[in-house]
């Protein structure tokens, strides 16, 4: 089995992991403007046989990632969504416009679940995507993440220093109302998509697979079946790399 360096370059963070013999040997995450600092960590790695990357953000970040392994002979695989790959059929109106991170997450979820599920990522943005029982991607939604919601309140209202105090069903102070509102809106969207998918399939969805840096803030409040997976996009990148000839 080939050693694989997987890199998930997102809107805010670049996550990476070295995978070999069925397990992660190392994983890490840096803010996008700290990518050059990864050179020291990568120099300590054995040169991988494969490098696979999902990139959805800045062009400058892509160049910085390329610089990290410019002295390696391995040619990186920059993934893009396809009509079909690794058991998943892409139902997007234009299959090639689906973000590579969402595509990799769907492939990972299908590999894990092998049946209908919701695939949720809680990061800078929140995505909630639906897979059918036969692995078809049915579509999904994109919402602002927790920090983007806070920023929009600060920019669009007179609320100053909006913070996250504590969750309450019926909050009685402003900062608790803000945190509770953010959680209600995101959890409500996830649970609504769960119900819609269950109706579409004519049976309850077995699982919602959730990942992302802010997922721990929502997990205690989600009342549908949930399986939390760390670095779901990286998991999907490994599946793609192993399938790629």
Q: Which residues are catalytic?
A: 101
Work out the burial of residue 236: count CB atoms within 10 Å of its CB; fewer than 13 is exposed, 13-18 middle, 19 or more buried.
buried
SS3 at position 222: coil
What is the rounded distance in angstroms from the CA atom of residue 31 to the CA atom of residue 89? Answer: 32
Structure tokens at 152: 């929009």
Asked if 123 contacts 146 with a C-beta cutoff of 8 angstroms, the reply is no
Asked if 74 contacts 119 with a C-beta cutoff of 8 angstroms, the reply is no
Phi, psi of 45, deg, nearest 5? -85, 150
């Amino acid at each position: 089995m080939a050693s694989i360096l997987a890199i998930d370059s997102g809107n805010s963070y670049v996550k990476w992991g070295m995978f070999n013999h069925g397990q992660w040997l190392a994983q890490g995450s840096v803010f996008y403007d700290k990518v050059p600092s990864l050179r020291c960590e990568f120099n300590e790695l054995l040169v991988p046989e494969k490098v696979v990357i999902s990139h959805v953000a800045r062009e400058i970040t892509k160049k910085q990632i390329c610089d990290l392994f410019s002295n390696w002979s391995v040619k990186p695989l920059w993934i893009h969504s396809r009509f079909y790959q690794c058991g998943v059929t892409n139902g997007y109106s234009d299959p090639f416009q689906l973000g590579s991170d969402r595509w990799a997450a769907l492939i990972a979820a299908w590999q894990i679940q092998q049946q209908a599920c919701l695939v949720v990522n809680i990061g800078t943005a929140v995505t909630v995507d639906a897979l059918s029982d036969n692995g078809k991607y049915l579509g999904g939604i994109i919402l602002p993440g927790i920090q983007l919601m806070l920023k929009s309140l600060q920019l669009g209202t007179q609320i100053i220093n909006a913070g996250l105090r504590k969750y309450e069903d019926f909050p009685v102070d402003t900062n608790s109302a803000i945190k509770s509102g953010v959680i209600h809106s995101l959890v409500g969207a996830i649970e609504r998509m769960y119900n819609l998918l269950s109706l579409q399939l004519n049976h309850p969805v077995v699982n919602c697979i959730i990942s992302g840096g802010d997922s721990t803030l929502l997990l205690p409040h989600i009342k549908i079946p949930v399986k939390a997976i760390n670095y779901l996009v990286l998991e999907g990148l490994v599946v793609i790399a192993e399938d790629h000839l």
